[in-house]
Amino acid sequence: MRRIMPSRITPAQPAKRQALRVLGYALGLSLLGHAGLLLLNSEAEPARDTSGSKAQLPALSASAAASKATPLGSVQTLPAAANKPGPEPPLKPAQRNPLASPSPAPKPAALPSQAKSLQESNPPSGTPAPALTSLPSGEWHYQLSQQGREGQAVLRWDLQADGAYVLSLERELAGRPLPGWRSQGRMDAQGLAPQRFVQTQRGRERAALNFRREEGVLSFSASEDLLPLEPGLQDRLSWWLQLASLAQSQPERFRPGREIALRVAGLRGQPQDWIFEVLPMEAKGSSPLLHLRRQAINEYSGEIHLWLDPARQYLPVRVLFQLPDERGWSLQLMPAPPGENSAPDSREAP
CATH of residue 206's domain is 2.50.20
At 152 the pLDDT is: 98
Q: Would you state the pLDDT for residue 29?
A: 65
Lowest mean pLDDT among 129-143, 152-166, 293-307: 129-143
How many structural domains does the chain have? Answer: 1
For the cut 50, the answer to whether the pLDDT of residue 187 exceeds it is yes
**C-alpha to C-alpha distance for 243 and 201, rounded to whole angstroms:** 27
Query: For residue 74, is it within any domain?
Result: no
Look at residue 246 in the predicted model and tell me its pLDDT.
93
User: Is pLDDT of 346 > 90?
Assistant: no
Establish if 205 belongs to a structural domain.
yes
pLDDT at 60 over 50: no
CA atoms within 13 A on the CB side of 312: 29
Mean pLDDT, residues 231-252 taken together: 94
* Confidence label for 15 from pLDDT (cuts 50, 70 and 90): low
Confidence of residue 323 (pLDDT cuts 50, 70, 90): confident
Per-residue H/E/C for the chain: CCCCCCCCCCCCHHHHHHHHHHHHHHHHHHHHHHHHHHHHHHHHCCCCCHHHHHHHHHHCCHHHHHCCCCCHHHCCCCCHHHHCCCCCCCCCCCCCCCCCCCCCCCCCCCCHHHHHHHHHHCCCCCCCCCCCCCCCCEEEEEEEEECCEEEEEEEEEEECCCCEEEEEEEEEECCEEEEEEEEEEEEECCEEEEEEEEEEECCEEEEEEEEECCCCEEEECCEEEEEECCCCCECCCHHHHHHHHHHHHCHHHHCCCCEEEEEECCCCCCCEEEEEEEEEEEEECCEEEEEEEECCCCCCCCEEEEEEEHHHCCEEEEEEEECCCCCCEEEEECCCCCCCCCCCCCCCCC
pLDDT value of residue 130 = 47
Residue 313 predicted with pLDDT over 80? yes
Task: Report the chain's mean pLDDT, rounded to a whole number.
Answer: 75
Residue 284 within any structural domain of the chain: yes
Q: Considering the domain boundaries, does residue 30 fall inside one? A: no
Mean pLDDT of 133-161: 92
pLDDT in the model for residue 255: 97
85 pLDDT above the threshold of 60: no
What pLDDT does 234 receive? 97
> Residue 56 falls within a domain, yes or no?
no
Residue 309 pLDDT: 96
Note the pLDDT of residue 36. 55
Per-residue confidence (pLDDT) for residue 324, from 0 to 100? 81
What integer pLDDT is reported at residue 329 of this predicted model? Answer: 95
Domain assignment of residue 178, yes or no: yes
Region 146-164: what's the mean pLDDT?
95
Within-domain flag for 325: yes
What percent of the chain shows pLDDT beyond 70?
58
Q: What is the pLDDT of residue 229?
A: 96
More confident residue, 348 or 240: 240
pLDDT of res. 112 = 45
> Rounded to 10 degrees, what is the CA torsion of 48, 54, 56, 62?
120
Cα gap 295→262, rounded to integer Å:
12
Domain housing 286: 112-121+130-333
Is 198 domain-assigned?
yes
Residue 15 CA to residue 23 CA, distance in Å, equals 13
> Of 167, 142, 140, 168, which is closest to residue 153 (Cα–Cα)?
142
Predicted confidence at residue 82, as pLDDT, reads: 43
pTM for this entry: 0.63
Minimum mean pLDDT range among 32-46, 47-61, 173-187, 190-204: 47-61
Tell whether the model's pLDDT for residue 19 goes beyond 60.
yes
